[in-house]
Amino acid sequence: MNRAGRLAASLIVALQLAYAVVLIAGLAALPSEDAPIPDPYFTAMELLILFIAPLLVILMAAVHEAVPPARKLFSLCALVFMAMCATVTSLVHFLILTVSRDLPGDWSSVFAFRWPSVAYAADILAWDVFFALSVLSASRVFLEVGLSRWTGRALLVSGLLSLVGLLGIAAGDMQVRNIGILGYAVVFPAAVLMMRQVLSRQTL
């Protein structure tokens, strides 16, 4: 199981890096600041998220398998919350890729990735709530002195930043949500690399 976890960790980091490259290219191709990211960049980003989501679950399953019995409550919570995150975000992005493109009329209040919309709210639930709870739970798994403890701290920072992204809703300013994006798009990949190294050892 540790081998599967290490492979999942490697793929997560590679795909998140690919996502960042596509995002930058998409932003560079914007005709104006208010325009949505055009295809093929938008479709590529959606597909990358659909690939990343199940890998996150595999990674947390590997962590749950590897931890000592005394910490399995936290690793189980991490696994369950990550499964919830993956389920919600996969549903959102699959619907955007498929159903939203064939519906007549204006469905921007449902599928547009701008606030307020149903899809945007659901994705915030996935990443700023379920993902945050998952990595915060996982932070209580990595407690051994050395790299393991630093991994736990990185996961803690990732989770806290993701939760702070919820303030964007309270403030009515989605720019504040960028703080949350730092949690799962910047800090978390670094934590995943550390998790990969820790998973190669006998104990977490």
Give the whole-angstrom CA distance, residue 153 versus residue 191. Answer: 9
Residues of the chain scoring pLDDT < 50: none
The pLDDT value recorded for residue 172 is: 75
The pLDDT value recorded for residue 88 is: 96
Contact call for residues 81 and 133 (beta carbons, < 8 A): yes
Contact call for residues 162 and 136 (beta carbons, < 8 A): no
